[in-house]
Chain A
Amino acid sequence: EDKVVQSPLSLVVHEGDTVTLNCSYEVTNFRSLLWYKQEKKAPTFLFMLTSSGIEKKSGRLSSILDKKELFSILNITATQTGDSAIYLCAWSGTYKYIFGTGTRLKVLA
């Protein structure tokens, strides 16, 4: 059975800290791995990763995929209170998407 596992389930940090969120997957027919941020309602897209070892960056956020070891990490540097959210990773196969249960991040001022 295809599955995506995220860790930790929740995390509390202080502003300025750096966090690393983990996503491991056991799937067949891998196409891509996606990261989303979910605040109050709809998830918003962060990154899509298809190639191993290539880092994607957007401001203080970055992500990398290791297709051999079947995991991805999302790094957030210099965290801010606005980074507080649930972070979701998802595996994309042929027509299907499987999401992890998410990591709930809380950043304290």
Chain B
Amino acid sequence: EAQVTQNPRYLITVTGKKLTVTCSQNMNHEYMSWYRQDPGLGLRQIYYSMNVEVTDKGDVPEGYKVSRKEKRNFPLILESPSPNQTSLYFCASSSQYKTGELFFGEGSRLTVL
């Protein structure tokens, strides 16, 4: 089954404790991206990757890092989480990064205390 898988789905952590949210897709998509969704603000793009070893900032990259060492994986790293990073995070992928349909993971709800 074609899918985008994120882990963990739920996480409560404390300020400053590094964490990684993993994202993996099995559709051989070149393009992957991360979004956060907050009430009243919609989905905002954090980072995206056009292919292996090629990443760029989205609209809200502060406090986040990413890497793309393999085509299928695109982890999101919070080096020193803060409460304002409490949010619902989505990973998504697409085979036609310039215009294409995004396939979303199930989401990861992160709470930073």
Return the contact of A42 from the options B42, B48, B100, B105 (Cβ within 8 A).
B105
Question: CA separation between A99 and B60, bound complex, in Å?
Answer: 13
In the complex, B14 has a CB within 8 A of chain A: no
The reply on A48 being an interface residue by CB < 8 A is yes
Cβ-neighbour of A97 out of B40, B45, B56, B103 (below 8 A): B45
Could you name 14 residue pairs across A and B whose Cβ atoms are closer than 8 Å? A34-B102, A42-B104, A43-B43, A43-B102, A43-B104, A45-B102, A48-B99, A88-B42, A90-B102, A95-B31, A95-B97, A96-B45, A98-B45, A101-B42
Contact among A34, A90, A95 for B98, CB-based, below 8 A: A95
For chain A, the count of residues having a C-beta within 8 Å of the partner chain is 22
Contact A99 B101 (CB under 8 A): no
Q: Is A75 positioned at the interface, with any CB of B under 8 Å from its CB?
A: no
What is the CA–CA distance of A48 and B95 in the complex, to the nearest angstrom?
14
Contact with B along A65-107 (1 / 0, CB 8 A): 0000000000000000000000010101011111111100000
Contact of A32 with B90 at beta-carbon distance under 8 Å, contacts A42-B107, A99-B44, A102-B42 already known: no
- Nearest chain A residue, comparing its CB with the CB of B57: A96
Contacts A41-B107, A42-B104; A92 near B98 (Cβ below 8 A): yes
A7 in the interface, Cβ–Cβ < 8 Å?
A: no
Are A31 and B99 within 8 A (Cβ)?
Answer: yes
Residues in chain B near residue A32, CB distance under 8 A: 99-100
B50 at the interface (CB under 8 A from A): yes
Is A99 a contact partner of B42 (Cβ separation < 8 A)? yes
Residues on the B chain within 8 Å of A42, using CB? 90, 104-107
A62 is an interface residue with CB less than 8 A from chain B: no
Contacting residue for A92 out of B58, B59, B90, B100, CB 8 A: B100
